[in-house]
Amino acid sequence: MHRRELLAAAGAAVAAPLLARPAIAQNPWPNRPIRMVVPYTPGAATDAMARLAALKLQEQLGVTVVVENRTGGSGTVGGQAVLQAAPDGYTIMGSASIHPMARHVMKVVGYDPVADFIPIARTARGPCVLVQDPRLPQKTLSEVIAAAKAEPKRWSFATSSLGAAGHLASIEFNRQAGTEIEIVPYRGSAPALTDVAAGNVQLMFDPVLATLPMIRGGQLRGLGIATPARTELAAELPTLSENGLPGFTFYSWYGVWAHRGIPAEIAARLNAALIKGLHEPETVQRLAGQGFEPVRETIPEIERAIALEVEQNAALLKLAKFEPQ
């Protein structure tokens, strides 16, 4: 199933109101619609994943979950909307792994994405793939590294946005490979990948969701996938680890957050509902078709994982002498 189909299926289901189940109706929460704020445009990958999460919450909790796109400020407008709402479990946010990194890539955020929000669930994750302009004569990772070292000014990385998994993977690539390839930020994956396919930029890291169809269609060449071992999500791709970049692992992930003041019992119910819904066999299969897998974690486990990831990524940005913009 393609992203458009995933979005359409989830969107249609979320739009259809459900009657509260008797057991749920007797509970003080939830007894009215839940609003899920998405800080990005409709149709984007983050939006599609948020709508799938909203659908699963709706099915599990028995109340309508309304998706509201609040764009602007590189995602901060939507974040502010969540913080301005009452922390009662009726306003939550569907975003991506870039959210916790906001203060490390932007000068002005307006809130602390870690201290002010509680992560309810990491809904799905997908590995990054290194792709290149298919017309380039270099066909292997070692050939690309050698060429980039010989003529660094002729090579550049595209990245969907600063602080995204692809941006961080590009920095780590330069560190491990000993290259100095320029990193060019775009506003989203689509224009960046289009420029790589057109030969305006040579390389890019982006999740399987966007890259694999273009690889299989001949628009891009896949050099490797950033997973610990080969994966059925993209069986034709070797790992970057086996091609000379040991331990090279980068995932893009999506999640649901709430105001830090939300009652713990409501946060736990949201977490349980998402885990149950996203691990239904049909949903697991649907996600796999998009290059993603659901994540099963408690809220304390998510917080520890995010804290470690932010620490590692902040150190990577510092090593690259990156300044918030």
Model confidence pLDDT, tens digit, residues 62-87 = 999 999 999 888 889 999 999 999 99
288 within a domain of the structure (yes/no): yes
324 within a domain of the structure (yes/no): no
Query: Which element (helix H / strand E) includes 222?
Result: strand 221-225
Mean pLDDT to the nearest integer, 292-311: 96
Burial string for 25-58 (b: 16+ CB within 10 Å, else e) reads eeeebbeeebbbbbbbeeebbbbbbbbbbbbbbb
Same domain, 50 and 108: yes
> What pLDDT shows up at residue 323?
86
Same domain, 118 and 8: yes
Residue 27 pLDDT > 80, yes or no?
no
> What pLDDT shows up at residue 324?
86
Q: Which domain holds residue 228?
A: 127-243
Greatest mean pLDDT among 37-41, 56-60, 160-164 lies in: 56-60
Same domain, 111 and 177: no
Confidence of residue 304 (pLDDT cuts 50, 70, 90): very high
Could you tell me the CATH number of the domain that includes residue 261?
3.40.190.150
Give the pTM: 0.84
Same domain, 120 and 265: yes
> What pLDDT shows up at residue 11?
53
> What pLDDT shows up at residue 82?
98
325 within a domain of the structure (yes/no): no
313 within a domain of the structure (yes/no): yes
Same domain, 78 and 43: yes
CA-atom Rg of the chain in angstroms: 20
Same domain, 134 and 215: yes
Which is nearest to 32 in space by CA: 12, 61, 10?
A: 61
Mean pLDDT to the nearest integer, 275-281: 98
Residues 208 and 117: their CA atoms lie apart, in Å, by 28
Same domain, 122 and 164: no
Mean pLDDT to the nearest integer, 208-227: 94
Same domain, 179 and 258: no
**Domain end marker among 219, 243, 267:** 243
pLDDT, one tens digit per residue, over 95-143 is 999 999 999 999 889 999 999 999 999 999 999 999 999 999 999 999 9
68 within a domain of the structure (yes/no): yes
Confidence of residue 277 (pLDDT cuts 50, 70, 90): very high
Same domain, 137 and 277: no
Mean pLDDT to the nearest integer, 171-197: 94
> What pLDDT shows up at residue 13?
47
Confidence of residue 181 (pLDDT cuts 50, 70, 90): very high
Q: What is the distance, to the nearest Å, from the Cα of residue 272 to the centroid of all Cα atoms in its chain? A: 21
pLDDT, one tens digit per residue, over 238-273 is 999 999 899 999 999 999 999 999 999 999 999 999
> What pLDDT shows up at residue 248?
96
85 within a domain of the structure (yes/no): yes
Same domain, 82 and 150: no
Domain count, the chain: 2
Q: What is the distance, to the nearest Å, from the Cα of residue 256 to the centroid of all Cα atoms in its chain? A: 11
> What pLDDT shows up at residue 21?
41
Q: What is the distance, to the nearest Å, from the Cα of residue 47 to the centroid of all Cα atoms in its chain? A: 10
